[in-house]
Amino acid sequence: MTGHRSFFLEEALDAYVQAHSPPVDDVQRSLIEATASLGPVARMQVAPDQAAFLALLVAAVRPMFAVEVGTFTGFSSLAIARALPDGGRLLCCDVSAEWTDIAREHWSRAGVDDRVDLVVAPALDTLRALPADREVDFAFLDADKAGYLAYYEEMVPRLSPHGLIAVDNVLWSGRVLDAGADDADTVALQEFNDHVMSDDRVTSVLLSVGDGINLIRRA
């Protein structure tokens, strides 16, 4: 994702979407600029309208325990943390201290750093180390695509009755339509979407928000 524009939308339509969505504030604008300075990797940052969508979901679900796998520089986690109810916690999993240092700075500037627990380590290890009875009320997956299925399998048994999992990039700029694709990321996303659709433990809807979000709850 980009920090300023959703995939699949022409520039004028994207501008219309942004004009009819919550405007970015000073902290978010600073974070977009700091991320842009990293170069092409800044494409991994979620767009403002997607961050607003995540915040709306979190405000509706009111999770006491939320998890993010793939924090990058913190735009999505900032939105999630701001929308948490009193006493809510967000566990962020990432492997980059460099990128998450930018996130930490902006969590602090927004006054939400006290509700975020960042673990810089392989996310699968972090998830498997959670207590067996630890319920997850909201999860956002936006990390290595080959790892999605393993992260999902750790999350589903922990998902609370009212919980949601939001999985990013599931349309992969349309490449999921390519039946002959042989690159690891595309194949992983095709297999992930098919697995979720056939999993009778959950109910899901694949949304054309940003680069695609698979929104999942317990059946």
Mean pLDDT for 154-160 is 97
pLDDT in tens, 184-206: 999 999 999 999 999 999 999 99
Where in 51-190 does DSSP place strands (E)? 65-69, 89-94, 116-120, 136-141, 159-168
Number of Cβ within 10 Å of residue 210's Cβ equals 24
In the structure, what pLDDT confidence band is assigned to residue 7 with cuts at 50, 70 and 90?
Answer: low
* Encoded amino acid at 153, one letter: E
CATH number for region 11-218: 3.40.50.150
What is the pTM assigned to this prediction?
A: 0.94
Mean pLDDT for 18-40 is 95
Q: Which two tokens stand for residue 109?
A: 């500037």
Contact 215, 163 (CB under 8 A): no
The whole-number pLDDT of residue 183 equals 96
pLDDT in tens, 100-122: 999 999 999 999 999 999 999 99
Q: Which two tokens stand for residue 189?
A: 């996303």
pLDDT in tens, 172-184: 999 999 999 999 9
